[in-house]
C-alpha cells in the first residue's frame, strides 16, 4: 500500500451526510476484475449534475475530500477507496465514517480523518470562501492545518505506524505463522469444513 | 465481571494478542462471491501465495447472475463470473456456480448448508455478512484487501468493537414482522447508531423469532452502522441446525450443543451501550427516504424536513424527498409503486416466500412483481409447497436464485424515476438501478402492495 506521512493540497467541500459507498461508486462499476480504472466511476451519478461540487472548476485538482457525517456507509466495496484514490484523493475528512470503509481506507493508504462536526463545517466554510486554500493533513503530528487554524485528530498508534511505513498486513501477519498453526491444532474437531 | 456473548466468541478466536496491536483473530469460515474477490486472488498470485485453508472457504455466484434461465448476456458480468470459476479451480475452493443445486446468495447458502454455526467467526467481502450472527457467532463484512488477507492467512488483525445491547421487550403484534422491527430500530438509532459496535439483539421478542426472522434482523445491523449483529443460540437455533449437511452429528452434536449453550451473555456482564425497544407497540414500517434510517410506520405521512431538529437530518430529508419525488404530508399509503421485489439476503428465505404467498393466494397483482428466491434450495422448497403456483396465478414472476434487484448488477433493475416496494435492505439513491426510487418493506407489505399498487399493509386488504 501507499505510505502516508503528511499531505498538503486543496480540498473539496461535500456538504452531504450519509454518503454511502453506492454513491461513491455505483454497482455497475464493480464488474471489473482489475484494480484500476475506477476514477471514472467516482460519484458517477452525482457527477452528471453540472452543479455537483466535483464539477466546479474551482475545485479541480483538489486532493482532500471534506464531507458531512457518516461517509462511506453501506456496502463493503473497497472499490470506493480505489475510486477516490485513483481520482486523486489522498485523505477524506468527516465527523464519522462507516466502519468497513474506514478499515478499507487504511489498508490502501487513503487517510480517513475524523474531526468533530463543527470543525468539519469550519473547514468546509473556509474552503468555500477560498477554494485555493491549502490544507495539510499531518499523520505524524495527528493534526490538520489550514490558514492559521489547526485541529488534532485521533488515530490508533498501530494503524498510524502501518500507514507511515506503508506496511502490508499479510507480511506482518505471516510473522505469526507459528501461532496460527498452534491455534489451528487446538480447534474443535466438530467445526465445519466445506470439503 | 461477567462477559458478553460477543466477548466470549471473540476471546475464543484470538490467535495472538500484543500490547498496542489489534488482536489477530482466527476466521472459521470465509465466504466468497464474484464481485469482491478477483483482485484478492490476483494479489495472492502476484505474491506467490496459496489459500491457506481452502476447506474453510466456500464460493458462490450471486450478484451478477441473471434470474431467468440462460447465459449471462453482459460480457463484463460474464468475465467476472468466469474469473471466479478460474480462481476457485486454481486455488481449490468449493464453488456453487449458476445452475448448481447449491447456488444462491452468499448469506443464504451458509446457513442452509449448516456451515453457519454458533460461536464461529465468519467473514465475507460483503457488508451483509452480519446475517450469520443470527446463530450466535461474530460475522462481519470486509473489503478486498482483507479478503486477500484471510485467503492467505485464515486470520484477520482486528480491534474488538465495543458492545451494544438492543433489548426488545414484549411481543410483536400479529402482522408485524422481523423486517418491521429492524426498520423501526434503525429509524430509532440512526444509520450511525451502531458504529464501532457489535450489537447483541436480546429480549422476549427476539427469543420468539424464527431463525429466518433472526437472520433478517442481524442482516440489517450494518444499516444501523454496526460492525456485526448477533443473537444468542437457543433451542430454535439448534433445531434449525440439526440434520443439515455440515452440522455436527452423532456424539459430536451433543458436544457441540453443550458448548453452544454456554454462548450467552452473563447476567452481570456490562454492555458499552444499551437501547430498549418495546415490540408490542410496533406496526408495519416502511422507508420514505434514501437511507434505511429514514423510515416511518405505514400509518404515518411523509415527514416535513422542518420537523427534524438536527440541521444535518433536515437537509438529508430535503434531499431525500427531492430524489424520491415525495411531498411532505402525503400519507405513505398513497404512494404508488411500479415494481415490487421480494427477495435478497434480507427476505429471500422460505418463510419470506410463504408470507408473500399467503397474501397473494387467490389475488392478482397490479404491478410488475418479481419473486426471487435467495437460493436454488429455497426455490426447490417453495416449489414443493406449491408456492410458485400461487405466485404465477397472481401474475407475479417466479425467478431463479440470485441478488437480483437488490442491487441491480444483473438485468433486474428499475428504470430512472421508477418506484419500488422492495424487501431488500438498501434504499440508497440508484441502488436498484440509476434514478430508481426504493421503499424498503417486509415481504407481507410487499405482497399487499403488489395487489393494490400502493404501499399497503396486509390488514388493509
Ligand atoms: S442480496 Fe443484496 S445485500 Fe444481499 S448479498 Fe446480494 S446484493 Fe448484497
- Chain segment B287-312, per-residue pLDDT in tens: 999 999 999 999 999 999 999 999 99
Cell numbers describing residue B143: 473489503
Q: How far is B240 from chain A (nearest CA, A)?
A: 16
Nearest CA to ligand 1 atom 6: B403
- Cross-chain CB nearest to A180 (options B154, B192, B255): B154
Ligand 1 atom nearest B106 alpha carbon: 5
Binary contact (A190, B248; C-beta < 8 A): yes
- Among B109, B122, B126, residue to substitute to test ligand 1 (most atoms within 8 Å of Cβ): B126
pLDDT at A168: 85
Query: Residues of A with CB below 8 A from B49's CB?
Result: 170
pLDDT at B408: 86
Residues B393 and B275: their CA atoms lie apart, in Å, by 44
Q: Which of B250, B180, B186, B249 is nearest to B209 (CA)?
A: B180
> Mean pLDDT of successive 10-residue segments in chain A (195 residues)?
93 97 96 95 97 98 98 97 98 97 96 98 98 98 97 96 93 95 96 95
Q: Which residues contact B220 (CB under 8 A, 6 or more apart)?
A: B130, B182, B183, B186, B229, B292, B346, B425
Give A52-66 pLDDT, tens digit per residue. 999 999 999 999 999
In this structure, which topology does domain A6-167 adopt according to CATH?
Aconitase; domain 4 (3.20.19)
Q: Which of B169, B191, B132, B126 is nearest to B9 (CA)?
A: B132
Average pLDDT, chain B: 97
Residues B297 and B117: their CA atoms lie apart, in Å, by 34
Size of interface A-B (CB pairs under 8 A): 201
Query: Cβ of B19: how many Cβ atoms within 10 Å?
Result: 4
pLDDT at B361: 98
Domains annotated on chain B, with CATH: 5-273 (3.30.499.10), 285-460 (3.30.499.10)
> What separation, in Å, do the N-terminal and C-terminal C-alpha atoms of chain B show?
52
Longest dimension (CA), chain B: 64
Q: How far is A159 from chain B (nearest CA, A)?
A: 9
pLDDT at B199: 98
Q: Would you call B154 helix, strand, or coil by DSSP? A: coil
Q: Which residues have any ligand 1 atom within 6 Å of their CB?
A: B 62-63, 105-107, 126, 128, 344-345, 403, 406-407, 424-425
Q: How far is B59 from chain A (nearest CA, A)?
A: 10
- Cross-chain CB nearest to A190 (options B57, B252, B429): B252
Lowest mean pLDDT among A163-172, A176-185, B263-272, B350-359: A163-172
pLDDT band at B104 (very low <50, low <70, confident <90, very high): very high
B345 assigned to a ligand binding site: yes
- Cross-chain CB nearest to B153 (options A79, A180, A193): A180
Going by the DSSP 8-state scheme, the letter that residue A47 receives in this structure is H
Query: Cβ of A179: how many Cβ atoms within 10 Å?
Result: 17
| Domains of chain A, residue spans | 6-167
B218 assigned to a ligand binding site: no
- Among B344, B423, B425, residue to substitute to test ligand 1 (most atoms within 8 Å of Cβ): B344
Nearest CA to ligand 1 atom 2: B406
Q: Which residues contact A181 (CB under 8 A, 6 or more apart)?
A: none
Give A90-107 pLDDT, tens digit per residue. 999 999 999 999 999 999
Binary contact (B115, A192; C-beta < 8 A): yes
Give B111-157 pLDDT, tens digit per residue. 999 999 999 999 999 999 999 999 999 999 999 999 999 999 999 99
Cell numbers describing residue B205: 421478542
Are B357 and B398 within 8 A, CB to CB? no
Across B188-212, b (16+ Cβ under 10 Å) vs e yields: ebbbbbbbbbbbbbbbebbbebebb
- Among B63, B223, B432, residue to substitute to test ligand 1 (most atoms within 8 Å of Cβ): B63
Amino acid at each position: 500500500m501507499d505510505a502516508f506521512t503528511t499531505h498538503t493540497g486543496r480540498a473539496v467541500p461535500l456538504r452531504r451526510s450519509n454518503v454511502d459507498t453506492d454513491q461513491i461508486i455505483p454497482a455497475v462499476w464493480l464488474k471489473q476484475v482489475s484494480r484500476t480504472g475506477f476514477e471514472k466511476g467516482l460519484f458517477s451519478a452525482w457527477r452528471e449534475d453540472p452543479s455537483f461540487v466535483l464539477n466546479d472548476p474551482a475545485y479541480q485538482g483538489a486532493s482532500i475530500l471534506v464531507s458531512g457525517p457518516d461517509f462511506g456507509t453501506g456496502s463493503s466495496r473497497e472499490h470506493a477507496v480505489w475510486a477516490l484514490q485513483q481520482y486523486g484523493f489522498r485523505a477524506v475528512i468527516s465527523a464519522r465514517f462507516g466502519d468497513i470503509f474506514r478499515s478499507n481506507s487504511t489498508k490502501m493508504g487513503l487517510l480517513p480523518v475524523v474531526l468533530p462536526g463543527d470543525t468539519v463545517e469550519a473547514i468546509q466554510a473556509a474552503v468555500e470562501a477560498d477554494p485555493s486554500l491549502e490544507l495539510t493533513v499531518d499523520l505524524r503530528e495527528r493534526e490538520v492545518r489550514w490558514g492559521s487554524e489547526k485541529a488534532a485528530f485521533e488515530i490508533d498508534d498501530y494503524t498510524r505506524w502501518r500507514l507511515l511505513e506503508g506496511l502490508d498486513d499479510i507480511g506482518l501477519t505471516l510473522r505469526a505463522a507459528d501461532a496460527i498453526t498452534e491455534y489451528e491444532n487446538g480447534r474443535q474437531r466438530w467445526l465445519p469444513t466445506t470439503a | 465481571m461477567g462477559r458478553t456473548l460477543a466477548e466470549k466468541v471473540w476471546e475464543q478466536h484470538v490467535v495472538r494478542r500484543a500490547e498496542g496491536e489489534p488482536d489477530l483473530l482466527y476466521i472459521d469460515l470465509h465466504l466468497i462471491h464474484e464481485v469482491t474477490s478477483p483482485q484478492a486472488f490476483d494479489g495472492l498470485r502476484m505474491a506467490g501465495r496459496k489459500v491457506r485453508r481452502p476447506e474453510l472457504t466456500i464460493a458462490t455466484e450471486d450478484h451478477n447472475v441473471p434470474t431467468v434461465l440462460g447465459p449471462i448476456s453482459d460480457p463484463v458480468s460474464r468475465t467476472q463470473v468466469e474469473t471466479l470459476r478460474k480462481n476457485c479451480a486454481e486455488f481449490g475452493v468449493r464453488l456453487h456456480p449458476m445452475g448448481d443445486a447449491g447456488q444462491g446468495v452468499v448469506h443464504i447458502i451458509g446457513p442452509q448448508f449448516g456451515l453457519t454455526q454458533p460461536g464461529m467467526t465468519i467473514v465475507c467481502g460483503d457488508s451483509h455478512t452480519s446475517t450469520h450472527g443470527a446463530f450466535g457467532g461474530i460475522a462481519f463484512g470486509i473489503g478486498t484487501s482483507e479478503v486477500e488477507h484471510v485467503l492467505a492467512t485464515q486470520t484477520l488483525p482486528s480491534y474488538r468493537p465495543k458492545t451494544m445491547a438492543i433489548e426488545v421487550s414484549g411481543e410483536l403484534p400479529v402482522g408485524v414482522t422481523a423486517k418491521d422491527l429492524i426498520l423501526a430500530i434503525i429509524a430509532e438509532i440512526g444509520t450511525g447508531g451502531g458504529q464501532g459496535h457489535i450489537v447483541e439483539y436480546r429480549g422476549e421478542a427476539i427469543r420468539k423469532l424464527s431463525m429466518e426472522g433472526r437472520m433478517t434482523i442481524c442482516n440489517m445491523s450494518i444499516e444501523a452502522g454496526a460492525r456485526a449483529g448477533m443473537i444468542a443460540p437457543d433451542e430454535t437455533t439448534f433445531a434449525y441446525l440439526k440434520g443439515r449437511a455440515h452440522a455436527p452429528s452423532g456424539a459430536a452434536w451433543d458436544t457441540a450443543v453443550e458448548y453452544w449453550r454456554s454462548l450467552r451473555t452473563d447476567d452481570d456482564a456490562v454492555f458499552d451501550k444499551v437501547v430498549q425497544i418495546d415490540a408490542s407497540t410496533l406496526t408495519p414500517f416502511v422507508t420514505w427516504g434514501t437511507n434505511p434510517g429514514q423510515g416511518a410506520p405505514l400509518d404515518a405521512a411523509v415527514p416535513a424536513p422542518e420537523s427534524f431538529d438536527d440541521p444535518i437530518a433536515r437537509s438529508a430529508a430535503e434531499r431525500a424527498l427531492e430524489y424520491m419525488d415525495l411531498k411532505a404530508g402525503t400519507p405513505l399509503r398513497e404512494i404508488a409503486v411500479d415494481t415490487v421485489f421480494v427477495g435478497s439476503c434480507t427476505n429471500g428465505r422460505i418463510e419470506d416466500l410463504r408470507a408473500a404467498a399467503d397474501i397473494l393466494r387467490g389475488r392478482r397483482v397490479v404491478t410488475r412483481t418479481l419473486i426471487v428466491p435467495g437460493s436454488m434450495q429455497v426455490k426447490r422448497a417453495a416449489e414443493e409447497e406449491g408456492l410458485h403456483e400461487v405466485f404465477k396465478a397472481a401474475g407475479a414472476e417466479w425467478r431463479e436464485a440470485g441478488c437480483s434487484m437488490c442491487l441491480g448488477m444483473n438485468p433486474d433493475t428499475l428504470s430512472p424515476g421508477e418506484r419500488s416496494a422492495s424487501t431488500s435492505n438498501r434504499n440508497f439513491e440508484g441502488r436498484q438501478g440509476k434514478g430508481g426510487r426504493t421503499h424498503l418493506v417486509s415481504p407481507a407489505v410487499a405482497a399487499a402492495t403488489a395487489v393494490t399498487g400502493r404501499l399497503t399493509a396486509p390488514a388493509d386488504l
